[in-house]
């Protein structure tokens, strides 16, 4: 998603819309990023209400930090784990 945020922001928004449209209510999302705090998480809006991702996801920061510490590849600076927020189901 990093490269999409720079070169194809509309496609990134479309991707997030597809995730929210198709994800099960209890879905947990995992993404890795070249950025410790992926900037697109702050500006992408999705869903019929065009809500910010921060309002549609419940971030599990402690779990992400723990799992990233166990990552044997060490390629990505950012490791994000989040659950779909109930009000994010649009």
pLDDT at 16: 95
pLDDT at 88: 54
Taking the model in full, what pTM does it have? 0.83
- Number of domains forming the structure of the chain: 1
CA angle 26, 32, 37 (to 5 degrees): 100
Which residues, including other chains, have CB under 8 Å from residue 69's CB and lie 6 or more apart? none
Residues paired with 58 in a beta bridge: 83
Place of tokens 């799992």: 67
Question: pLDDT confidence of 73, banded at 50, 70, 90?
Answer: confident
Q: Which domain holds residue 20?
A: 2-89
Question: Across all residues in the chain, what is the average pLDDT?
Answer: 89
């Amino acid at each position: 998603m990093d490269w999409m945020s720079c070169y194809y922001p509309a496609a990134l928004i479309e991707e997030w819309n597809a995730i929210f449209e198709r994800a099960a209510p209890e879905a947990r999302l995992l993404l890795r990023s070249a950025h410790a705090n992926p900037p697109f998480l702050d500006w992408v809006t999705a869903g019929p209400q065009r809500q910010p991702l921060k309002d549609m996801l419940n971030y599990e920061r402690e779990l992400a930090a723990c799992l990233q510490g166990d990552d044997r590849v060490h390629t990505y600076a950012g490791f994000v784990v989040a659950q779909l927020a109930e009000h994010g189901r649009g």
